[in-house]
Chain A
Amino acid sequence: MDLKNSVAIITGASKGIGRAVALALSKEGVNVVLAARSPELLSMVQKEIVNEGGKAISIATDVTSENSVQNLVIETQKKFGAIDILINNAGVGIFSNVVDLKM
């Protein structure tokens, strides 16, 4: 499948699975939009992609915030004019007994 020049938003792209997905898509020629809360971590992934000849932008985003997500979409459209792929990846977890979780 030819993904060249398509546009992908990846949430939770600052590390782990999200970062790996962003790097893989970039290798296929996809323009990647890196979204996560930490601008510092995002810029490291962005640099990594750009250094390898890929195209990436970083948009600090908190997916729990409706405004923040709207901003992500608006900024992506401004920069690339479209969104072809969305990778919903951002996630958090606490390993705890239900009983011990704070109320």
Chain B
Amino acid sequence: MIELEKNYVPIVWVTGATKGIGLAIANAFAVIGCKVILSGRNKSQLEINAGKIIDQGGYSFPLVCDVTSETNVRSAMTTITKKFGAVDVLVNNAGVTVFESFEKTTVKEFDQIVNTNLRGYFLCTKSVITSMMKQKKGHIFNVHSVSATTIFLNSAVYSASKAGSLALSKCLRAEVRKKGIRVVDVLPGAVETEMWDKNSRKKFHGKMLQPEDVADAIVSVYCQPQRMTTDEIVLRPIEGDI
């Protein structure tokens, strides 16, 4: 098992931690001894997830936060600052999509996808970046998707949001890497989560990544020696994209 420095308990904030990849990431950071803040929109699910971590001897804190809301993100940050001081690791993971043709995608769906997947990353990053710069350290993991760089049918807005978050992240890394902050882009291929409908999950089961695969990759990069960082993690099922 990967171990942390003695007497150092990092504060990790994972967005979209109600299920899927976010939950797996929260669990994985808890296992190595971090204090994990699980945020998302569904309070009762967050409490269940946090409870399970605590039952297994970990430390967790459920925090309701809709990343599309600036007010929500600000108030989440106020709570985190009061309770924990500062965030050492932010995992921008909350994401949504619709699998729909460009023509059928509504303006409302566009706004929801871009506001969560792109604007949400901007807001959460803004809320931690100043204190990370003061501390001269910090990790920001941005979970994008291979669709940031690869074309899939019926995913135009999702791809656009992911290409946007990737570009935002690359610019941010260029600005802060000499200030001790590591910005890591994570681009998973198809992961078996509820983002896919039941039929697809059944059809492609065994040909998809599992949420834990993404979580383990992130935690292993987090635990790399101080002298180095990993700019980008691209993960794909062994047989490639589905």
A interface, CB within 8 angstroms of B: 66, 97-99, 101, 103
Across chains A and B, which 9 residue pairs bring their CB atoms closest together, nearest first? A103-B126, A98-B172, A97-B175, A66-B107, A98-B171, A99-B129, A98-B175, A99-B175, A103-B123
B interface, CB within 8 angstroms of A: 70, 74, 107, 122-123, 125-127, 129-130, 133, 168, 171-172, 175-176
Q: Contact check: which of B70, B107, B176 meets A103 at CB < 8 Å?
A: B70
Q: How far is the CA of A103 from the CA of B130 in the complex (A)?
A: 12
Q: How far is the CA of A97 from the CA of B126 in the complex (A)?
A: 11
**A residues less than 8 Å from B70 (CB atoms):** 103
Instruction: Give 21 pairs: A residue, B residue, CB < 8 Å, sorted on A.
Output: A66-B107, A97-B175, A98-B125, A98-B129, A98-B168, A98-B171, A98-B172, A98-B175, A99-B129, A99-B130, A99-B133, A99-B172, A99-B175, A99-B176, A101-B122, A101-B126, A103-B70, A103-B74, A103-B123, A103-B126, A103-B127
Q: How far is the CB of B158 from chain A (nearest CB, A)?
A: 20
Q: How far is the CA of A97 from the CA of B172 in the complex (A)?
A: 8
**B residues less than 8 Å from A103 (CB atoms):** 70, 74, 123, 126-127
> Known pairs A99-B176, A103-B126, A103-B127. 14 more at Cβ < 8 A?
A66-B107, A98-B125, A98-B129, A98-B168, A98-B171, A98-B172, A98-B175, A99-B129, A99-B133, A99-B172, A99-B175, A101-B122, A103-B70, A103-B74
**B residues less than 8 Å from A99 (CB atoms):** 129-130, 133, 172, 175-176
**B residues less than 8 Å from A97 (CB atoms):** 175
Closest to A69 in B: B107
Closest to B77 in A: A103
Q: How far is the CA of A97 from the CA of B178 in the complex (A)?
A: 14
**A residues less than 8 Å from B122 (CB atoms):** 101
Q: How far is the CB of B89 from chain A (nearest CB, A)?
A: 18
Q: How far is the CA of A28 from the CA of B126 in the complex (A)?
A: 48
Q: How far is the CB of A69 from chain B (nearest CB, A)?
A: 10
**B residues less than 8 Å from A66 (CB atoms):** 107
Q: How far is the CB of B130 from chain A (nearest CB, A)?
A: 8
Q: How far is the CA of A98 from the CA of B128 in the complex (A)?
A: 12
Q: How far is the CA of A99 from the CA of B125 in the complex (A)?
A: 9
**A residues less than 8 Å from B123 (CB atoms):** 103
Closest to B126 in A: A103
Q: How far is the CB of B52 from chain A (nearest CB, A)?
A: 33
Q: How far is the CA of A77 from the CA of B133 in the complex (A)?
A: 53
Q: How far is the CB of A10 from chain B (nearest CB, A)?
A: 21
**A residues less than 8 Å from B172 (CB atoms):** 98-99
Q: How far is the CA of A99 from the CA of B176 in the complex (A)?
A: 8
